[in-house]
Amino acid sequence: MAKASTTGVRPTIRMVAELAGVSTATVSYVLSGRRGDAGPGVSDPTAEKVKEAAERLGYRPNQAARAIRTGRTNTVILSLTMLSDPWSLSVIEAVQKASAPLGITPMILGDADWVKVLGTHNADAVFVDAVRPDQRQALLKLAKHGTTLVVFDEKVPADGFDVIRSIAGPGCRMAVEHLLHGHRRIACLTPATAAGTSGGSRYRAYAEALKHAGIAEREDYVGLFDGTSAGAYAAATRVLSLPDRPTAVYATTDFAAVSAINAAQRLGLAVGTDVDIIGVGNTVEGERMSPSLSTVGPVDFFDKLARLLLRRATGHTDTGHADTSAADEPGVLDFPWHLFVRESAPHRSAATRLY
Amino acid sequence: MAKASTTGVRPTIRMVAELAGVSTATVSYVLSGRRGDAGPGVSDPTAEKVKEAAERLGYRPNQAARAIRTGRTNTVILSLTMLSDPWSLSVIEAVQKASAPLGITPMILGDADWVKVLGTHNADAVFVDAVRPDQRQALLKLAKHGTTLVVFDEKVPADGFDVIRSIAGPGCRMAVEHLLHGHRRIACLTPATAAGTSGGSRYRAYAEALKHAGIAEREDYVGLFDGTSAGAYAAATRVLSLPDRPTAVYATTDFAAVSAINAAQRLGLAVGTDVDIIGVGNTVEGERMSPSLSTVGPVDFFDKLARLLLRRATGHTDTGHADTSAADEPGVLDFPWHLFVRESAPHRSAATRLY
DNA sequence: CTGTTAGCGCGTTCAT
DNA sequence: ATGAACGCGCTAACAG
């Protein structure tokens, strides 16, 4: 018997067929489990022979060849712009958990340049977590020509693809108003880029809530940072070291709020007592930490997102002939936001307020 | 003129060919830029017609079909177990930077279960950042049958694939010995799982260095944590709050060391004066922060890793017929470790030592 | 009931 | 600038 496993060569279905002494069709039936239900049956001894041959050769079906026939890649792509953000990790976790039982693999794209990638790479569904203005045209085009998309954006209109909106504005307003019950000197921690992007609405909620409460906005109370955890920490430290120290901090992301808590504690401030800190996003980390983070955000966001994405991945043939079961058209999915009052910014009554 | 872009259908090269009034071959040549250099020439007017047709239809070549012919996917897979670890982000960053000019897309696999995924998915090269004992068989098999692998592991022998070793032991020993110049009461911060995994050697270096210095190991000086930043922070706080407080902390990762610095500062300790803290890994974050983090680690690790991976991705046809240019066989790539003395654990002389 | 033949679906590439 | 073969796995239609 000649040596069966020639090193370095990727075995094809034909090699397996030859070694097992059967046709490639039989091999395909055996290895993809499609025997018994509808197609031709394969006897147990034959199936055994095939499996053995495949095992000996180290055969693995070629995903590309399979995809070309079936039109499905069993892959979803997650385009995530800020991988270091816990938000992204939550997306990944939820999608992974939901896709495993379906035999679907989530592939993460850590680059902001999803337009170029999606131009050539195929997946059963794609999640995109940010759309720059210059990418909107490309988005429409992709959706129009066979790419199944789920987009997270507050502004883009749904047009042949799903849009998940988690409108931050009102929720953020709630966060700031929560602080306003016990504070007048409220600082804001926000990424420097937030002016242009969707993060802008989170900052705007702060500005407007203050204005509405008749409080003048102070430039030195706005801590801009570079988007990193360390940057948020530094910005928080600066703001909390001001002579006229703010008694509350509104951070436009939970992870910035976490950094702010660390910074406050380093400065010897008791969070929830000397200074209140609230975040935005309702991420799990905030709930688990000590003191637990007060925050605003959507409920059950990640699981619902994952479910939608996988429904699209499985229910929609990428090749196009749309399933005409009228229900479940792509559209806008809106998430309501709630206020989660926890330890880092508790309820303040007249007796406990800091002004 | 009939409407050219039928919604939802993914256009094929044949549709483009038809619309442009040329053959599919011509379309292929035009769109993959393979005209002029070697293949047949295509006249400028024709090329223009083709490009226009492709544009009108929103045509994008089918990656799967292309892969089946060329044997290349223009993709590398990065299997990263701890996406939240800055180490992973550094890998991603380096690989992305190196792959962009080559037209190669890095896809990240955030799951520890790379064995199942690599069984069906194809890439020009795969980086794996951790090999569990039960995965070693599968690893060998993959490598033997056409998967181009680059593995990060301290123990696995290179056998048909590259292994990147960044032997921690001696380097960690250097770190602890650096502390021993000025301290006797040295704590250790290490993930709870480190006992079994490769992280174990980092802890062992601590135990052995202490023993060699004739210092008894104290159980209460070993701060175990759950691998998260918050966990490290808590463990550091506990250790640094002991009545017989350690004067130095050896953390088995840089990010744990960063948490330890935060914890120390929160406790009112001056890092680099009251307490010295050293990390392991030489990540960029440590260098940038204040006080800058003393650490040990390899030099130029991520860039070299990225270069190797992409060399493998481009130089090695996935279909197997190995390029026999004898040089550059897959093998072990060893990284020397250096000690980086910075502010968080400065040099201690007899005059400044803390015992 | 068991297994095979033949041809599909893509983009690429070699002869013509 | 093109026709047709090619690479791969899948599967409808067919043969024993």
Fold of A169-297+339-352: Rossmann fold (3.40.50)
**Structure confidence by residue, pLDDT tens digits, A323-349:** 444 457 889 999 999 999 999 999 999
**Structure confidence by residue, pLDDT tens digits, A103-122:** 899 999 987 789 988 888 88
The Cα of A215 is separated from the nearest Cα of chain B by a number of Å equal to: 32
Cβ count near A94 (within 10 Å): 20
Q: Is A15 left (phi over 0), alpha (psi -120 to 50) or beta?
A: alpha
* pLDDT-wise least confident of B93-97, B211-215, B230-234, B251-255: B230-234
Length of chain A: 355
Range A73-164+300-334: architecture per CATH: 3-Layer(aba) Sandwich (3.40)
Contacts of A84 in chain B (CB under 8 A): 86, 89
Cα–Cα distance, B202 to B213 (Å, whole number) = 17
Q: Is A343 exposed, middle or buried (0-12, 13-18, 19+ CB in 10 A)?
A: middle
Contacts of B3 in chain A (CB under 8 A): none
Protein residues closer than 7 Å by CB to strand C: A 21-26, 29, 40-43, 45-46, 65, 68-69, 319; B 12-14, 24-25, 27-29, 31-32, 34, 39-40, 59, 61-62, 65-66, 68-70
pLDDT at B291 over 80: yes
- Identify the residues numbered 295 to 324 in chain B whose C-beta atom is closer than 7 Å to any atom of strand D: 319
pLDDT at A54 over 90: no
pLDDT at B321 over 50: no
Cα–Cα distance, B161 to A312 (Å, whole number) = 37
- pLDDT value of position B172: 96
Contacts of B321 in chain A (CB under 8 A): 9
Residue A7's pLDDT band, with cuts at 50, 70 and 90, is low
Which of A113-127, B58-72, B334-348 has the highest mean predicted lDDT (pLDDT)? B334-348
Cβ distance A65 to B60 less than 8 Å, yes or no, reads: no
Cα–Cα distance, A250 to A344 (Å, whole number) = 11
- Please state, rounded to an integer, the average pLDDT across all residues of chain A: 87
| Nearest of B177, B166, B245 to residue B201 by alpha carbon | B166
Cβ-contact B217, B207 below 8 angstroms: yes
* pLDDT-wise least confident of A35-49, A185-199, B171-185: A35-49
- pLDDT value of position B319: 39
Cα–Cα distance, B293 to B283 (Å, whole number) = 9
* pLDDT-wise least confident of A38-42, A116-120, A143-147, A227-231: A38-42
For A320, the closest of B10, B74, B111 (CB atoms) is: B10
Cβ distance A121 to B61 less than 8 Å, yes or no, reads: no
The Cα of B207 is separated from the nearest Cα of chain A by a number of Å equal to: 31
**Structure confidence by residue, pLDDT tens digits, A236-287:** 989 999 999 999 999 999 989 998 998 898 788 999 999 999 999 998 888 8
Task: Please report, for residues A173, B44, B104, B105, B124, the alpha-carbon distance to residue B101 in angstroms, rounded to integers and kept in the order given.
Answer: 44, 26, 8, 10, 16
Cα–Cα distance, B138 to B127 (Å, whole number) = 15
Same fold, B13-61 and B169-297+339-352: no
Q: For chain B, what are the domain ranges?
A: 13-61, 73-164+300-334, 169-297+339-352
pLDDT above 90 covers a percentage of chain B that reads 52
Contacts of B86 in chain A (CB under 8 A): 84
pLDDT above 90 covers a percentage of chain A that reads 52
pLDDT at A58 over 70: yes
Cβ-contact A345, A272 below 8 angstroms: yes
| Nearest of A162, A142, A167 to residue A310 by alpha carbon | A162
- pLDDT value of position B195: 52
- Side-chain half-sphere of A326: how many Cα atoms within 13 Å? 0
**Which residues are bridge partners to B226 per DSSP?**
none
Q: Which nucleotides of C are covered by protein (CB under 7 A)?
A: 1-6, 8-16
- The SS3 assignment for A110 reads coil
* Distance from the first to the final alpha carbon of chain B: 89
Question: In the numeric block, which tokens belong to residue B290?
Answer: 């204040």
Give me the CA B64–C1' C9 separation in Å, rounded: 11
Q: Which nucleotides of D are covered by protein (CB under 7 A)?
A: 1-4, 6-14
pLDDT at A292 over 90: yes
β-strand pairing of A294-298 with A248-251: unpaired
Cα–Cα distance, B214 to B221 (Å, whole number) = 16
For A145, the closest of B58, B106, B319 (CB atoms) is: B58
Cα–Cα distance, B291 to B271 (Å, whole number) = 7
For B230, the closest of A106, A120, A289 (CB atoms) is: A289
- pLDDT value of position B320: 42
Task: Please report, for residues A3, A36, A41, the alpha-carbon distance to residue A46 in angstroms, rounded to integers and kept in the order given.
Answer: 22, 14, 10
Token look-up 């226009």 returns B52
Cβ distance B9 to A122 less than 8 Å, yes or no, reads: no
Rg of chain A (C-alpha set): 26
Range B13-61: architecture per CATH: Orthogonal Bundle (1.10)
Cβ distance B7 to A74 less than 8 Å, yes or no, reads: no
In angstroms, how far is CA B71 from the centroid of its own chain?
25
Cβ distance A5 to B105 less than 8 Å, yes or no, reads: no
Residue B318's pLDDT band, with cuts at 50, 70 and 90, is very low
- pLDDT value of position B283: 86
Cα–Cα distance, B170 to B298 (Å, whole number) = 11
- Among chain B residues, the shortest Cα distance to A292 is held by B230
pLDDT at B3 over 50: no
Cα–Cα distance, A266 to A262 (Å, whole number) = 6
Token look-up 């640094």 returns B240
- pLDDT value of position A283: 85
Cβ distance A320 to B9 less than 8 Å, yes or no, reads: yes
Element (H, E) at A191: strand A186-191
**Structure confidence by residue, pLDDT tens digits, A161-170:** 999 998 889 9
**Which residues are bridge partners to B164 per DSSP?**
B152, B333
Q: Mutate which of A3, A9, A141 to disrupt the B interface (most B C-beta within 10 Å)? A: A9
Give me the CA B286–C1' D5 separation in Å, rounded: 58
pTM of the model: 0.82
Q: CA A150, A197, A170: angle at the middle one, nearest 5?
A: 80
**Which residues are bridge partners to B128 per DSSP?**
B79, B151
Cβ-contact A217, A204 below 8 angstroms: no
- pLDDT value of position B6: 52
Cα–Cα distance, B22 to B47 (Å, whole number) = 10
- The SS3 assignment for A9 reads coil
- Dihedrals φ, ψ of B3, to 5°? -65, 130
Element (H, E) at A187: strand A186-191
